[in-house]
Amino acid sequence: MTGFTTNKSADGLNRMSTLNEEYLRKLLSQINDPHTGGDIVSLGWLRGLSIDGANVSVNLRAAYPIDGIRESLLRSISAALEADANIESASVSLDWRVVPHGVQGELKPQDQIKNIIAVASGKGGVGKSATAVNLALALRADGARVGILDADIYGPSMPRMLGLSGQPETDGNRIIPQLGHGLQVMSIGFLVEEDTPMIWRGPMVTSALQQLLTETNWQGLDYLVIDLPPGTGDIQLTLAQKVPVSGTVIVTTPQDIALLDARKAVQMFRKVDMTVLGIVENMSTHICSNCGHEETIFGSGGGQSMSEEYDVPLLGKLPLAMQIRADLDIGMPTVVSDPDSELTARYREMARNTAAQLAKRPRNLDLNLPQINVLNT
């Protein structure tokens, strides 16, 4: 069960005899968010508090979606407060709100999109698209409004993975995204036949990406997940120069060859001033479909060592399981097809870690407000 941890010292706080606001704030500052490790006061969760004798009320607001763990967090934080000898009862309210976070360079936020999260990999075949779609669905399962943009122009896979087909409708000169399991979805795969190759040069590909992003009628998204093609080429450079990205997630496998390319991806995004939120180690273990035995057939520890080398979090370790592939083939990703499974739990933990890391980033205060000119008359 997910819960808060505390590191309060009995020699410190419990020697205080008077329950006041300062005491309660110090007590709250010893309670840590399980997905960032930071305390809830320094993270800005505290919205208000009141004290009535030995009874306290605390109003908290998380900066990332927590619908799936709200009740367990409430129980944990209430228990942590009531464990203090000076507190008889604790009433805790906890909600969440996603705000826009800083992007690279001088770019401004995209209209109707608070945050763009790019999912990237240094090479193909590491399960990047499977990770991206389940990340998006896991964020939605925790209450967020989420879209996904399939930016892999040469190999679009989102229509098949989400069980969608047919051309999207339009509203004037805007494209209406299709809906797949609650996600707003756009892909070049909606505009061409599934077996039609995209024989395009780089400038055509980057132009298509910009059109798919800016001419789609996205509606009030907390997060837009962009599934990038593998590598560090034209699309990645266009993204860095023209698309306001709040953070990137690098997907790799434990193999040394995959890690070599993943390191290049981290270095590239850092050079173009894009935040790397963390590493996802996919195919971390293999789960036998017959007996359930789990083993590290591709090696172990690669994602952890890479996260330590580049000082970025390891957001999650996902297994190689036949169910993940089978679910995607029928257009029902695992987070949707088997919401109570251990596989889904891993995806949701990874998604919460990703959103929590983004929540630690500075807010984007450029809200595209109109300029006001004051004239002396």
The Cβ-side half-sphere exposure at 226, using a 13 Å CA radius, reads: 28
Are 261 and 123 in contact by the 8 Å Cβ rule? The answer is yes
Q: What was the pLDDT predicted at 12? A: 44
Above 80 in pLDDT, residue 350? yes
- Identify whether residues 149 and 253 lie together within a single domain: yes
- Using the 8-state DSSP alphabet, how is residue 91 labeled? E
Q: Region 246-262: what's the mean pLDDT?
A: 87
CA-based nearest residue to 130, from 270, 373, 311, 327 = 327
Above 50 in pLDDT, residue 15? no
pLDDT band at 217 (very low <50, low <70, confident <90, very high): very high
- Identify whether residues 257 and 154 lie together within a single domain: yes
Above 50 in pLDDT, residue 241? yes
Are 45 and 57 in contact by the 8 Å Cβ rule? The answer is no
- Identify whether residues 46 and 193 lie together within a single domain: no
Q: Which two tokens stand for residue 374?
A: 């004051």
285-334 residue pLDDT tens: 777 777 777 777 776 777 888 888 889 999 999 998 899 999 999 999 99
Q: What are the φ/ψ torsions at residue 317 (nearest 5 degrees)?
A: -125, 115
- Identify whether residues 43 and 125 lie together within a single domain: no
- Identify whether residues 153 and 299 lie together within a single domain: yes
152-190 residue pLDDT tens: 888 899 999 999 998 899 988 899 999 999 999 999 999
CA distances to 103, 108, 113, 323, 370 from 366, rounded to whole Å, are 10, 7, 13, 43, 11
Are 95 and 67 in contact by the 8 Å Cβ rule? The answer is no
Above 70 in pLDDT, residue 7? no
What is the count of structural domains for the chain?
2
Tally the residues of the chain. Answer: 377
Instruction: Determine, yes or no, domain membership for 72.
Output: yes
Instruction: Determine, yes or no, domain membership for 132.
Output: yes
Q: Any bridge partners for residue 62, and if so which? A: 96
- Identify whether residues 33 and 166 lie together within a single domain: no
Beta-carbon count within 10 A of 194 CB: 10
**C-alpha to C-alpha distance for 273 and 219, rounded to whole angstroms:** 27
CA 190 to chain centroid: 25
Instruction: Determine, yes or no, domain membership for 103.
Output: no
Above 50 in pLDDT, residue 16? no
Tokens 């819960």 appear where?
3
- Identify whether residues 117 and 46 lie together within a single domain: no
First-to-final CA distance of the chain: 65
The Cβ-side half-sphere exposure at 45, using a 13 Å CA radius, reads: 33
102-112 residue pLDDT tens: 999 889 888 89
Q: What mean pLDDT value characterizes the chain?
A: 88
Segments forming the whole domain that contains residue 270 = 113-359
Beta-carbon count within 10 A of 364 CB: 18
Q: What was the pLDDT predicted at 234? A: 82
- The CATH number covering residue 24 comes to 3.30.300.130
Instruction: Determine, yes or no, domain membership for 202.
Output: yes
- Identify whether residues 195 and 338 lie together within a single domain: yes
- Identify whether residues 129 and 15 lie together within a single domain: no
